């Protein structure tokens, strides 16, 4: 691993989504946004349904969405674990917009409408950030 870099893994329940060296990771936890750089203090936190940004040591920024989960930071290693993680290029933005409309119409009617709304919004934001 290069100096001043992090080893990062994005892991979904069914696959390794992304793995590599990065200079920075930004994720949203239940306590707020967190930026992780080389030398970050150890941390374990709950993620919200939101966008995750990874600045690889080389190559374009990786934008993904995580449907909740955990972020673990220790010894310049960052692990993001979630039931579902999608990279921005894997997201069907039209499908996300349909889900957003559906979730908005179900607010106050279905218990999980808020969560569905946040996930759809995060997917749309990820595609917009990656564009």
Residue 78 has pLDDT above 80, yes or no: yes
Look up the pTM and report it: 0.87
Q: Does domain 6-87 have CATH number 2.30.42.10?
A: no
Give the pLDDT score at 115.
Answer: 87
CA distance 24 to 6: 7
Domain boundaries, the chain: 6-87, 91-130
CA distance 47 to 69: 5
Using the CB atoms, write b or e for 20-46: b if 16+ within 10 Å.
Answer: bbbbbbbbbbeeeebebeeebeeeeee
Q: Are 30 and 46 in contact (CB under 8 A)?
A: yes
Half-sphere exposure of 70 (CA within 13 A, CB side): 7
Residue 1 has pLDDT above 90, yes or no: no
Predicted confidence (pLDDT) per residue in 89-110, tens digit = 999 999 999 998 988 888 877 7
Residue with tokens 């069907």: 92
Instruction: Take residue 93 and report the two structure tokens written for it.
Output: 């933005």
Predicted confidence (pLDDT) per residue in 24-50, tens digit = 999 999 999 999 999 999 999 999 998
- How much of the chain exceeds pLDDT 70, in percent? 98
């Amino acid at each position: 691993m290069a100096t001043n870099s992090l080893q990062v893994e994005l892991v979904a329940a069914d696959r390794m989504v992304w793995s590599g060296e990065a200079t920075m990771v930004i994720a949203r936890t239940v306590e707020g946004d967190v930026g992780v750089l080389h030398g970050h203090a150890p941390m374990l936190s709950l993620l919200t349904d939101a966008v995750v940004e990874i600045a690889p040591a080389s190559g374009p920024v990786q934008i993904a969405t995580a449907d909740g989960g955990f972020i673990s930071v220790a010894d310049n290693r960052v692990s993001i674990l979630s039931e579902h993680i999608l990279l921005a290029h894997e997201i069907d933005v039209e499908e996300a917009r349909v889900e957003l409309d559906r979730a908005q119409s179900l607010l106050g009617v279905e218990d999980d409408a808020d969560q569905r709304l946040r996930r759809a919004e995060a997917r749309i934001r990820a595609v917009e950030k990656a564009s």
